[in-house]
Amino acid sequence: MTKILAPETAIDGVLSAERVVEHPAWAVLKDAVETIRPWQSKDGSVDLTAEGAPTADALRQQVERCVAAIGELAPLLPHNAAYHEAVAADLRRWADTGYGVPDFLDSLLAFQPARQRVDGLQHLVLFPMYTQNGNPDRNFEAVVLRVVWPQWLAELERTRYDNPLFLGITFEDFTSGYDTNSAVLFPETIAVREAPERFSWGGIFCDREAARFRRVSEAAVETLGIDLPAEARDLLADQHRCQQAFVLWDMVHDRTHSHGDLPFDPFMIKQRQPFWMYGLEELRCDLTAFKEAVKLEAEGYQQARDVQYAVIFDRMFRFPVTGGRTRNYDGLGGQLLFAYLHRHDVVRWTDNTLHIDWDRAPQVTNQLCGEIEKLYRDGIDRPKLVHWFKAYELVASYLAPHPGSTWAKGPDALDLSLPPRKLVDDVLPDEFPLSMFYEALAKKLKTVIASTKGITAENADRVAA
């Protein structure tokens, strides 16, 4: 297990009072990266012969500006000395080899933030990468961030929820690829010559998650006329408190991908499956975090009660109406949670008002988690295709499939001589369409959800346009 260093045992200078983003060199680095990005192709390379391309000298000048700025900022971050040396070398090698597809494996291996999780610790990151739910191209991105690792969370990770690779983080500043809906910093998004045998860290921006949760939830509460408990209203008004809830939720969710009775690769990275399988996996991890939060609340953790509100609100009000309808597995999980709670009379849409039975919500939410866990446990003894159909039956028992669905007609409607991965082609892009309730809610919240693009703690309380 990764040792968690307390601030007083950290390397001298790591908790410097000087903010990286206030140093003049940060503005230079950011400008240089923003200058390079439009010249890059989808794979991160630069074609110097293309129309509008820079000269080799002009591009080299921007690379050297990046290297020089990193050199000026490095003394503020002595804990990242090896990484900053490696990233400067990777930048120059990219230039020396003709600006082809970037290879930043050496600097990726040198960046080891999970080895020193200290609350408030700053990091300066520069990589060619795509940003999940943001920019799909491997452009250069520069980000300054801080680690969120309060002592109570460190103790829970040490004693109950071992997750040595997890990092809660917040934005200080960023380049254009993060002026999007992306809320993660994952090593697998970075351009490298070959993937490492295993990744050693993964970061989730709890400030962005908290900020958009607050904005969308407040709008949903007003639109639906929900009568909130006082503690829930207080939560929505407090950005820091929401961040603490999300970092706990994220930590438990992240470890759940590799815990439990799993009939498949927990991250399903190398498998082609129907999107409802991904939806159930993400929902399972969220509901496991909810279940653990119920236990922690009984032990006196205020953050745990907040996690329960966050899971229900984010899953029911933001996920189903965010993003497109093509294989939207997170949206599907939110639809399923709402339908399940509605079927069991925990939520009721009456007189144009949504009523929530907060006393019964924990019990019934945990009940849905139990149904998914049973599906997984039984799935260990089933062939893949049978498991997919059983999962479909679980979802379809609460959500109506598209009337044109082939899968809804059952196995006889499919060509079972094909391998399972080929049958995924028969899945409709929107296999489980939005209900009339969600269609109406999506129209009401469209502008608010759009306003959360690029949101951070600093602009969380601005009124949505």
Q: Clarify whether residues 297 and 434 are in a common domain.
A: yes
Structural domain containing residue 60: 7-200
What pLDDT does residue 263 have? 80
The answer to whether position 461 is within a domain reads no
Instruction: List helix spans (H) across 326-380.
Output: 329-343, 361-379
* Residue 458 maps to a domain: no
Domain boundary among 151, 170, 200: 200
The predicted model scores a pTM of 0.93
Of 200, 231, 259, the residue that ends a domain is: 200
Enumerate residues 6+ apart whose C-beta is below 8 A from 219: 444, 445, 448, 464
Would 465 be classed as within a structural domain? no
Domain identity same for 220 and 179: no
Q: Are 250 and 369 members of one domain?
A: yes
In a domain, 272, yes or no: yes
Q: In this predicted structure, what is the pLDDT of residue 266?
A: 54
Do 273 and 154 share a structural domain? no
Verify that 297 and 446 share a domain, yes or no. Answer: yes
What residues have CB less than 8 Å from 344, skipping those under 6 apart? Answer: 360, 364, 367
Residues 6+ apart with CB under 8 A from 195: 188
With respect to residue 463, please indicate whether it lies within any of the assigned structural domains: no
The strands making up 139-148's β-sheet, listed across from edge to edge, are 122-129, 139-148, 166-174, 202-205, 184-185
Q: What is the rounded (10 degree) CA torsion for 246, 251, 254, 258?
A: -150
456 in a structural domain: no
From first to last of the 465 residues of the chain, give the pLDDT tens digit: 222 333 333 444 356 678 999 999 999 999 999 999 999 999 999 999 999 999 999 999 999 999 999 999 999 999 999 999 999 999 999 999 999 999 999 999 999 999 999 999 999 999 999 999 999 999 999 999 999 999 999 999 999 999 999 999 999 999 999 999 999 999 999 999 999 988 889 999 999 999 999 999 999 999 999 999 999 999 999 999 999 999 999 999 999 998 998 886 655 555 789 999 999 999 999 999 999 999 999 999 999 999 999 999 999 999 999 999 999 999 999 999 999 999 999 999 999 999 999 999 999 999 999 999 999 999 999 999 999 999 999 999 999 999 999 999 999 999 999 999 999 999 999 999 999 999 999 999 999 999 999 999 988 776 554
Residue 144: Cβ-neighbour burial (10 angstroms; 0-12, 13-18, 19+): buried
Query: Is 267 found in the same domain as 126?
Result: no
Whole-number pLDDT of residue 265: 61
Contact between 78 and 225 under an 8 Å Cβ cutoff? The reply is no
Question: How many domains are there within the chain?
Answer: 2
In this prediction, residue 129 carries a pLDDT of 98
280 and 132 part of one domain: no
- Residue 348 has phi, psi (to 5 degrees) of -140, 135
Q: Please indicate, yes or no, if residue 394 is contained in any of the structural domains.
A: yes
Given 147, 167, 200, the domain boundary residue is 200
Same domain, 66 and 123: yes
- 195 shares its domain with 220: no
Does 214 lie in the same domain as 195? no
Same domain (yes/no): 280, 162? no
Among residues 66, 213, 57, which one has the least CA distance to residue 140?
66
Residue 17 falls inside a structural domain:
yes
Residues 213 and 267 in one domain: yes
